[in-house]
């Protein structure tokens, strides 16, 4: 399949020029040099072909041959994706380890999906059925947590002339034949899809459900919808990765695609070591069974970093097309943007802001646009939610990647360096963050949780913004000069911050809160606030309210009350009422 | 050096242009990208370089020793046919080399076990072992609040004139494999130190050498020295040479290797210089857009792997220009490393040693290296409580500076006292004071006991019961 198209004339890091054929397609996959390093055609001028190479080009020489595969950069889709870890161009890292040991060597050509595994296929259609792209041919239990729905490839349409009986097959054995306009076509469980092209669906869906993450500040204050987009910008060490890991662990999505894009090797290792042992509370199975990992760590070649994002989102779309809710995390999109910048710089393109190419905004838009809740080609509901970490230089959000990202996302979880250094985690700033999904998900809360989440949240936000206003005064004159009503606002805001917003990802009880637990906690803090307000009006001084033991109880309740025993909240409620009552009788 | 390399291709060609540390070579045949080059000047003197860019018949070469004394006509260039390699061997311990790996101590060239490409190769994440063993440094702000693990990369963010060298030397002297509180921690037999100097002054290098000598570690140390008056471009090779040896010692010889790289800011300057001369589009402050990837290609050469007992722990030192933590060098470093120990000028002026600013410091790997069976069960809550209390001290100080201490609430006055004591008794410690983890935890509890129990919401009631000291100092 490889045809020689030219010879290398110039090498500068990952960017290589070759001279030769004029009949090469933009974005075609090529192999360069004796080592057959994989690259992609990113530019053509006359007979000069510009290529970005996905591997280290050290030692490559002018004159080296270039071959084309005639195909664009694509991913393999089929059973076996879950539980895998791939590099940025979908090479399976465990196989690389078997072949080349602890260090990744160059020029390895490996099948992304393992060919020898046999999968239990159960047909869902019969001979004679007319089929079209996206229809479900049959199912395979890919893991115990997830049923893989084998689909007719998007561009195939016709009548089914044969379908394999229920049995075990490898992914390249035929499982069906379709008579199409252009003749009979054999289908296997293995499909290919070009990564830079969004997979088709029937229509976008309007109705939104929240993606529940178990993280209180997210679910309660800045909810993300299934199929929505969110950005987590923050300086180094502010908590982007821990937040993304927490979402990957606890989000109520059926499939997780986690892209480590230009980040630390150890962080991928951590997921690899931890996820097989963590049990998904919903499926009762290890988290790894619903997870696909893509790792292009910061020391891996930069061109493959650019590709890793597309590899990940294409896999996410594939599971969406089966009718699943998929959540994709990209940590960090800034490294991807920097990869674009580096390639662009070596191409000597005209830079726009801060050296980024002028098309940065377009690429970001294209990526986030691939999120969404859709009606699939087969009429089911599926979604891809995208959560992108952003790493602004110096933690300054005015830089191009953060600013452009903001235009294309609807949930902004702003991490705050000063909260992080005070060890308030997650360090999501409640005044700078926002969610545009609030109205969309309010109905779901009403139906599923039954309490008026919208109103409770609004009350809490009001107290927090009031606190921020008051703290300006406190900074100048201290809090003693404030009237007691206002000092109570400070007290309740502290309760909200320490008792509700702060959530440790590393505490066994606290790391994940059900929505029921969240709403109950919030309700109690606000109950306390109302009760205290009432007795302050009656003349009870703030100091005695401050000393109520129930305040300490409420700060600790997040780690004391477990998700499966919320009745303890009843006791706390009783405590609040009793302790306030006692004060009331004392001060009346 | 040339005898160290297998002279496969040995092309002799001429130079067409010289600009800063770069020479532009024309009429070349088959030259590989990133290949090593020998440049011979009119007097027959040889210097080394590296190919930065190649086209047909042309190559851009960076000359490590600089281009002073090179002429267009009198210069010849040999291409050696492969990327830069250095010899690696256990017997390199105890030796001193220059920034390119040539002996500086008058000794013979080491008998190489083999030659290794200084660029290394990325560690496969599937082959890594997540670090969990803590290193007891004997320094409370590190062991207690920013615990260092074997296989971690934890830089010192410092500033000109701050005692980062003393701190690094103290860490090297005192470092031992941590044990649970109450048990004694052991010095490992299988340890090694690889020290790389980039553009630092002579006295810094000799300070470290003397310190290694005093502690009797010198025979376990390899030094790669590129000093302030050595050619800047050579600095781009120095850390790579050091890490190549470190990888050999750790992953092929099962040693626990501590790598000290100082000063990373000088390294980045050299990178910026080359980039500017090549006319590359700069990103922030004139540094190239690939500074992040370049730094990552050094810092990521840290950790543990399944096939070896050894480990590489990195302790890079960098001076922040203008003490500015948002400057690209500390900023991009912080985005790659697993935390940072930040030194602070005010604490230093107050006479606090080590002047570790606790709040902007962080060890990301700490959580898995502490707790029951590793340090002590209360460690995690204890550190969280100290951080929270000390963070509150900052607010109280700001307020006190406006309204005066007397106007503070009683609790806030207690916080002020706590803050002072924390800096004087916990942060501050002697240059030779080697505290056990137990001592560190105990000092922390003694200080926390200066605050009312109700304020301690990050530790559990049980822990308060066990460790909180009433006014007589009893639990
Ligand atoms: N929810 C949390 N609970 C407890 N600790 C947290 C939480 N979030 C962050 N942290 C702490 O903050 C540290 C830094 O977090 P993290 O590694 O996620 O930062 P980051 O924003 O991804 O940084 P970088 O950009 O450098 O990758 C963690 O190692 C942990 O100690
Ligand atoms: Mg991170």
How far B83 CA lies from chain A's nearest CA (Å)? Answer: 7
CATH number for the A114-191 domain, one of 3.40.50.150, 3.30.300.180, 3.30.450.20, 2.40.50.100?
Answer: 2.40.50.100
Which among A150, A164, A161, A205 has a CA at the least distance from the CA of A184?
A161
Per-residue pLDDT, B215: 87
A476 pLDDT band (50/70/90 cuts)?
confident
Q: Beta partners for A29?
A: A40
Using CA atoms of B272, B273, B279, B281 in order, give the dihedral in degrees to the nearest 10. Answer: 10
Residues in chain B with CB shorter than 8 Å from the CB of A269 are 125-126, 128-130
Helices B328-336 + B264-277 axis angle, to 10: 110
Chain A within 8 Å of B346 (Cβ-Cβ)?
A: no
pLDDT at A192 exceeding the cut of 50: yes
pLDDT at B472 exceeding the cut of 60: no
Q: Is the CB of A506 under 6 A from ligand 1?
A: yes
Residues in chain B with CB shorter than 8 Å from the CB of A58 are 32-34, 83, 117, 119
How far B435 CA lies from chain A's nearest CA (Å)? Answer: 25
Chain B within 8 Å of A59 (Cβ-Cβ)?
A: yes
Residues in chain A with CB shorter than 8 Å from the CB of B336 are 264, 298
Domain A3-71 classification at class level: mainly beta
Per-residue pLDDT, B98: 93
Report which protein residue has its CA nearest ligand 1's atom 28: B364
Chain B within 8 Å of A276 (Cβ-Cβ)?
A: no
**Cα–Cα distance for residue pair B262/A312, rounded to 1 Å:** 38
Tens of pLDDT, residue by residue over A386-416, are 999 999 999 999 999 999 999 999 999 999 9
Tens of pLDDT, residue by residue over B191-238, are 999 999 999 999 999 999 999 999 888 999 999 999 999 988 899 999
**Cα–Cα distance for residue pair A454/A210, rounded to 1 Å:** 13
Q: Beta partners for B39?
A: B47, B77
Report every protein residue that has its C-beta within 5 angstroms of ion ligand 2. Answer: A 240-241
Per-residue pLDDT, B4: 34
How far B379 CA lies from chain A's nearest CA (Å)? Answer: 13
Answer whether 0.80 is exceeded by the pTM: yes
B428 pLDDT band (50/70/90 cuts)?
very high
Q: Within 13 Å, how many C-alpha atoms sit on residue A547's CB side?
A: 7
Q: Which domains does chain B have, with CATH numbers?
A: 5-83 (2.40.10.170), 86-354 (3.40.50.12240), 379-467 (no CATH)
**Beta-carbon contacts of residue A243 (< 8 Å; ≥ 6 apart):** A215, A232, A413, A415, A426, A428, A505
Per-residue pLDDT, B10: 57
> Domain A203-281+296-434 falls in which CATH fold?
Rossmann fold (3.40.50)
A88 C-alpha to center of ligand 1: Å? 24
Q: Are residues B124 and A555, on separate chains, in Cβ contact within 8 Å?
A: no
Phi and psi for A533 in degrees, rounded to 5?
Answer: -55, -45
A238 C-alpha to center of ligand 1: Å? 5
Q: Within 13 Å, how many C-alpha atoms sit on residue B173's CB side?
A: 22
Write down the number of H helices and E strands in chain A: 16, 26
**Cα–Cα distance for residue pair A162/A128, rounded to 1 Å:** 8
**Cα–Cα distance for residue pair A327/A189, rounded to 1 Å:** 23
**Cα–Cα distance for residue pair A410/A431, rounded to 1 Å:** 16
Domain parsing of chain A, residue ranges: 3-71, 114-191, 203-281+296-434, 451-587
B8 pLDDT band (50/70/90 cuts)?
very low
Q: Could you identify the residue written with the tokens 């009433």? A: B470
In eight-state DSSP terms, residue B149 is: B
**Cα–Cα distance for residue pair A30/A182, rounded to 1 Å:** 29
pLDDT at B384 exceeding the cut of 50: yes
pLDDT at B1 exceeding the cut of 70: no
Per-residue pLDDT, B474: 53
Chain B within 8 Å of A421 (Cβ-Cβ)?
A: yes
**Cα–Cα distance for residue pair A230/A356, rounded to 1 Å:** 22
B327 pLDDT band (50/70/90 cuts)?
very high
Q: Can you spell out the DSSP letters for B5-29?
A: S-----EEEEEEEEETTEEEEES--
B12 pLDDT band (50/70/90 cuts)?
low
Helix (H) / strand (E) element for B61: namely: strand B58-63
Chain B within 8 Å of A480 (Cβ-Cβ)?
A: yes
Per-residue pLDDT, B468: 95
Chain B within 8 Å of A130 (Cβ-Cβ)?
A: no
Average pLDDT, chain A: 93
How far B207 CA lies from chain A's nearest CA (Å)? Answer: 32
Q: What 3-state DSSP class applies to A343?
A: helix
**Cα–Cα distance for residue pair B146/B364, rounded to 1 Å:** 8
Q: Mean pLDDT, to the nearest integer, of A16-35?
A: 88
**Beta-carbon contacts of residue A465 (< 8 Å; ≥ 6 apart):** A431
Q: CA nearest A394 in B: which residue? A: B326
Same fold, A3-71 and A451-587: no
> Which range is least confidently modeled, A251-255, B178-182, B420-424?
B178-182
Instruction: State whether CATH 1.10.1140.10 applies to domain A451-587.
Output: yes
**Residue ranges of A 316-335 with Cβ closer than 8 A to chain B:** 335
Helix (H) / strand (E) element for B241: namely: helix B238-247
Count of other CB atoms within 10 angstroms of residue B69: 13
B3 pLDDT band (50/70/90 cuts)?
very low
Q: CA nearest A100 in B: which residue? A: B124
- Give Cα A47 to chain centroid, integer Å: 41
**Residue ranges of B 176-215 with Cβ closer than 8 A to chain A:** none
> Which range is least confidently modeled, A197-211, B21-35, B37-51, B207-221?
B21-35
Q: Are residues A298 and B83, on separate chains, in Cβ contact within 8 Å?
A: no
Q: Are residues A59 and B300, on separate chains, in Cβ contact within 8 Å?
A: no
Tens of pLDDT, residue by residue over A140-172, are 999 999 999 999 999 999 999 999 999 999 999
Bridge pairing between strands A3-12 and A15-20: antiparallel
Tens of pLDDT, residue by residue over A231-244, are 999 999 999 999 99
**Beta-carbon contacts of residue A212 (< 8 Å; ≥ 6 apart):** A219, A251, A252, A515
A223 pLDDT band (50/70/90 cuts)?
very high
Q: Is the CB of A504 under 6 A from ligand 1?
A: yes
Q: What is the ipTM of this complex?
A: 0.93
Per-residue pLDDT, A4: 87
Per-residue pLDDT, A85: 95
* Contact present, B374 and B180 (Cβ < 8 Å): yes
Considering only residues B284 and B1, tell me which one the structure prediction assigns the higher pLDDT.
B284
**Cα–Cα distance for residue pair B288/B273, rounded to 1 Å:** 9
Per-residue pLDDT, A348: 83
Residues in chain B with CB shorter than 8 Å from the CB of A504 are 384
């Amino acid at each position: 399949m490889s045809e020689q198209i030219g010879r290398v004339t110039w090498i500068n890091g990952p960017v290589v020029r070759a001279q030769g054929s004029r009949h090469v397609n933009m974005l075609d996959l090529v192999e360069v040099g004796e080592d057959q390093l994989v690259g992609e055609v990113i530019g053509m001028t006359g007979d000069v072909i510009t290529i970005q190479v996905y591997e280290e080009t050290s030692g490559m020489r002018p004159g080296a041959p270039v071959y084309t595969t005639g195909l664009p950069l694509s991913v393999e889709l089929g059973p076996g994706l879950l539980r895998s870890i791939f590099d940025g161009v979908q090479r399976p890292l465990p196989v690389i380890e078997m072949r080349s040991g602890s260090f990744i060597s160059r020029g390895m050509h490996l099948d992304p999906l393992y060919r020898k595994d046999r999968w239990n296929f159960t047909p869902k259609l019969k001979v004679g059925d007319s089929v079209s792209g996206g229809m479900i041919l049959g199912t395979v239990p890919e893991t115990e947590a997830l049923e893989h729905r084998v689909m007719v490839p998007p561009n195939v349409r016709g009548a089914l002339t044969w379908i394999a009986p229920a049995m075990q097959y490898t992914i390249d054995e035929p499982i069906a034949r379709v008579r199409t306009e252009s003749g009979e076509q054999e289908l296997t469980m293995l499909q290919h899809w070009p990564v830079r092209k969004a997979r088709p669906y029937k229509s976008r869906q309007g109705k939104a459900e929240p993606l529940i993450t178990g993280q209180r500040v997210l679910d309660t204050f800045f909810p993300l919808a299934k199929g929505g987009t969110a950005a987590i910008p923050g300086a180094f060490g502010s908590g982007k990765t821990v937040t993304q890991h927490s979402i990957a662990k606890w989000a109520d999505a059926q499939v997780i695609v986690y892209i480590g894009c230009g980040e630390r090797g150890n962080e991928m290792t951590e997921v690899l070591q931890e996820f097989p042992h963590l049990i998904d509370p919903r499926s009762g199975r290890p988290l790894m069974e619903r997870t696909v990992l893509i790792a292009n760590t910061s020391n891996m070649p930069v061109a493959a970093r650019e590709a890793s994002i597309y590899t990940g989102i294409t896999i996410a779309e594939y599971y969406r097309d089966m009718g699943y809710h998929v959540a994709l995390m990209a940590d960090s999109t800034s490294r991807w943007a920097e990869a674009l910048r580096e390639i662009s710089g070596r191409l000597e393109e005209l830079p726009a802001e801060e050296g980024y190419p002028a098309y940065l905004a377009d690429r970001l838009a294209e990526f986030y646009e691939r999120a969404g809740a859709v009606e699939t080609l087969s009429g089911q509901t599926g979604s891809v939610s995208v959560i992108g970490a952003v790493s602004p230089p110096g933690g300054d959000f005015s830089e191009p990647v953060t600013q452009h990202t903001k235009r294309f996302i609807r949930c902004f979880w702003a991490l705050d360096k000063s909260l992080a250094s005070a060890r308030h985690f997650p360090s999501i700033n409640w005044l700078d963050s926002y969610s545009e999904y609030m109205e969309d998900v309010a109905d779901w809360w009403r139906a599923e949780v039954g309490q008026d989440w919208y109103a409770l949240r609004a009350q809490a936000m009001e107290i927090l913004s009031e606190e921020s206003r008051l703290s300006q005064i406190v900074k100048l004159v201290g809090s003693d000069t404030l009237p007691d009503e206002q000092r109570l606002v400070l007290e309740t805001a502290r309760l909200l911050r320490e008792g509700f917003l702060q959530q440790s990802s590393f505490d066994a009880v606290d790391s994940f809160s059900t929505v029921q637990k969240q709403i109950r906690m919030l309700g109690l803090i606000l109950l306390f606030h109302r009760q205290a307000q009432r007795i302050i009006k009656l003349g009870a001084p703030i100091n005695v309210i401050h000393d109520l033991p129930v305040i300490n109880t409420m700060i600790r309740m997040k780690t004391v009350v477990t998700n499966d025993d919320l009745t303890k909240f009843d006791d706390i409620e009783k405590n609040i009422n009793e302790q306030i009552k006692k004060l009331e009788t004392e001060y009346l | 050096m040339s005898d160290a390399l297998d002279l496969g291709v040995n092309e002799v060609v001429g130079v067409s242009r010289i600009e800063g540390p770069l020479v532009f070579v024309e009429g070349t045949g088959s030259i590989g990208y990133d290949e090593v080059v020998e440049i011979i000047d009119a007097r027959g003197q040889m210097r080394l370089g590296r190919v930065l860019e190649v086209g047909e018949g042309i190559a851009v070469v960076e000359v490590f020793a600089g281009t002073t004394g090179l002429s267009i006509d009198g210069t010849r260039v040999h291409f050696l046919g492969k990327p830069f390699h250095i010899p690696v061997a256990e017997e390199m311990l105890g030796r001193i080399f220059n920034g390119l790996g040539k002996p500086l101590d008058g000794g013979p060239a080491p008998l190489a076990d083999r030659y290794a490409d200084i660029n290394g190769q990325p560690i496969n994440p599937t082959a890594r072992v997540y670090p969990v063993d803590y290193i007891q440094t004997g320094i409370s702000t590190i062991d207690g609040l920013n615990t260092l693990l074997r296989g971690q990369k934890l830089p010192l963010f410092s500033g000109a004139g701050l005692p980062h060298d003393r701190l690094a030397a103290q860490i090297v002297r005192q470092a031992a494999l941590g044990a649970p509180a109450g048990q004694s921690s052991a010095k490992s037999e299988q340890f090694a130190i690889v020290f790389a100097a980039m553009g630092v002054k002579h006295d810094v290098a000799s300070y470290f050498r003397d310190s290694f000598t005093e502690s009797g570690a010198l025979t376990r140390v390899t030094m790669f020295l590129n000093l302030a008056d050595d050619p800047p471009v050579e600095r781009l090779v120095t850390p790579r040479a050091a890490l190549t040896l470190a990888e050999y010692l750790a992953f092929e010889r099962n040693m626990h290797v501590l790598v000290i790289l100082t000063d990373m800011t000088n390294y980045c300057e050299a990178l910026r210089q080359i980039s500017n001369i090549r006319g590359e589009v700069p990103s922030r402050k004139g540094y190239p857009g690939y500074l992040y990837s370049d730094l990552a290609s050094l810092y990521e050469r840290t950790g543990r792997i399944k096939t070896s007992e050894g480990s590489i722990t990195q302790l890079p030192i960098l001076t922040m220009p203008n003490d500015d933590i948002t400057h690209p060098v500390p900023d991009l470093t912080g985005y790659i490393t697993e935390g940072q120990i930040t030194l602070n000028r005010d604490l230093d002026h107050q006479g606090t040693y080590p002047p570790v600013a606790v709040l902007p410091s962080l060890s990301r790997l700490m959580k898995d290296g502490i707790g029951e069976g590793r340090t002590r069960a209360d460690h995690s809550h204890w550190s969280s409580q100290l951080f929270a209390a000390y963070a509150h001290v900052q607010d109280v100080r700001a307020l006190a500076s406006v309204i005066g201490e007397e106007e503070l609430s009683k609790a806030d006055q207690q916080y002020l006292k706590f803050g002072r004591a924390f800096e004087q008794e916990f942060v501050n410690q002697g240059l030779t004071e080697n505290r056990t983890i137990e001592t560190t935890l105990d000092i922390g509890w003694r200080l926390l006991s200066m605050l009312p129990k109700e304020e301690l919401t990050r530790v559990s009631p049980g822990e308060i019961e066990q460790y909180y000291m009433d006014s007589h100092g009893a639990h």
